[in-house]
Amino acid sequence: MTRVVEVPTQFDDRTFDQFARSYAADGGGRMLFDAHAAQWASPYGLVGLLTAGQAIAETGGERPLLTLPQDRDVVHYWARAGFVRHAEQYFELHGKAPRAAARGESDVLLEITPVRGADDVHDVVGHIQDRAAAILTQELGLEATATMGFGMALSEACQNIVEHAGTGGWVAVQTYTWRRRLGRRVVVIAVADAGVGFRRSLEATQAKRFGDRWSDAAALEAALIQGVSRFRDPGRGQGLAGIRRYLNRWTGKLAVRSGTARMTMVPPWDEDAPLVDQLPPFPGTQVLMIVPAHVENG
């Protein structure tokens, strides 16, 4: 018996919970991730989909099926973003997958890249820094100082996988214009892993302190607001705070989803809720960072 997991036609952070609900629904059997009708997917959607496949593989589940988008342009974009290449590890692919992705000038700043160790973090930061500098200053109109902070935020987000997830993860960076949502150009960083999540990572040191309140939401609060870490080293727990400071300075957005909760640092241009819990469960942690173009008095 096959259980279908619907991939939303517009697959991004706003439809991710719909995807997670379908993923978490009861029912056994082999899973079929149905993306045939997909028309668009953000980096957040694509790394989330890979995370689902990774989680099934790492828990010994049967290799799931994935129907690729029927739309030729869409599936080419998925290939260009690096998704198809990595998806072959975890899914039995159905549909026409482009053999070779066209390279060259692209909005994909960093194609989907695995993060398993410190060397991967060096490679990611080193690879992206020059192009990110050009885009942040020339296309988004940010000051030159935004560039270094961008690399720092990217590095810290990737290191959370290396230090805390207990397994590998994924990062992708893309720039595009949000015509309807914001009317501005943005750079989006998506980082996801299929690891233990914040609650399990912090449980040994924090659960007692929170008592009955201990939950995915409480763990996110402890990490993002209070800067706690599972390590006793007092120098730990600063990475997420650094990311928050960077995004706050450039009116950016940070959203961290772990387990059944999502905490968001909501910028003035967005209407997301600061904390949502009792979401459909999803493996690991998903981090979304958005840096928008500068506008005067914006």
What is the contact surface with another protein in residues (CB under 8 A)? Answer: 118, 121-122, 125-126, 129, 145, 147-149, 151-152, 155-156, 159, 162-163, 234-236, 238-239, 241-242, 245-246
In whole angstroms, the minimum distance from the beta carbon of 161 to another protein comes to 11
Question: Alpha-carbon distance 250 to 253, whole Å?
Answer: 9
Nearer to another protein, 184 or 249 (CB): 249
Nearer to another protein, 152 or 266 (CB): 152
Name the one residue in this structure whose structure tokens are 């036609």: 9
In whole angstroms, the minimum distance from the beta carbon of 270 to another protein comes to 24
Nearer to another protein, 109 or 121 (CB): 121
Nearer to another protein, 77 or 250 (CB): 250
In this structure, which long-range contacts are made by residues 226-232, counting pairs with CB atoms below 8 Å and at least 24 apart in sequence?
Answer: 228/202, 229/202, 230/164, 230/201, 230/202, 230/204, 230/205, 232/205
In whole angstroms, the minimum distance from the beta carbon of 152 to another protein comes to 5
Could you give the count of Cα atoms lying within 13 Å of 34 in the half-sphere of its Cβ? 8
Nearer to another protein, 25 or 148 (CB): 148
In whole angstroms, the minimum distance from the beta carbon of 60 to another protein comes to 30
Give, to the nearest 10 degrees, the angle between helix 83-90 and helix 72-80: 80
In whole angstroms, the minimum distance from the beta carbon of 218 to another protein comes to 23
DSSP, res 81: T
Spatial contact of 53 and 90, defined as CB atoms under 8 Å apart? yes
Q: What's at 249, amino acid-wise?
A: R
